[in-house]
Amino acid sequence: MSLALYEEIQLLYPHEPDWDAVPDAVLVELVEHYPEESSCATLALGILSYRRHSRVAELARWLLSQKDVDPWLRQNAQEVLLAMGNKVES
């Protein structure tokens, strides 16, 4: 059984891939599948923001609406929205 790339990245962390080579779709999957894990999901959200991905605000809002999101990832989601000029409700 082979792992999806997003699963492999999460499993092998703290060994990091060449983030510049990771496709946007994989970064989105890291955020969506691992909101309780700050490491890879936080990096993925930051890279998506840097790349100005069309779903970054949606993902950040989704993270803020989830109950079990890692506190560091939640903070990162707030910062991403603020940097984009969005209001963030506490």
- CA distance linking residue 71 with residue 63, whole number of Å: 10
Q: Where are the alpha helices (DSSP H) in the chain?
A: 5-12, 24-33, 38-50, 56-65, 71-83
- CA distance linking residue 43 with residue 22, whole number of Å: 11
Q: What is the pLDDT of residue 90?
A: 58
Closest CA to 27 of 62, 69, 17, 86: 17
Domain ranges of the chain: 23-83
Whole-angstrom CA distances from 61 to 4, 23, 24, 44, 66 are 25, 21, 18, 15, 9
On whether the pTM is more than 0.85, the answer is: yes
Give residue-wise pLDDT tens across range 4-21: 999 999 999 999 999 999
Q: What is the pLDDT of residue 53?
A: 96
Give residue-wise pLDDT tens across range 21-59: 999 999 999 999 999 988 899 999 999 999 999 999 999
Q: What is the pLDDT of residue 17?
A: 94
Q: Which amino acid is at 85?
A: G
Give residue-wise pLDDT tens across range 53-89: 999 999 999 999 999 999 999 999 999 999 988 877 7
- What SS3 class is residue 87? coil
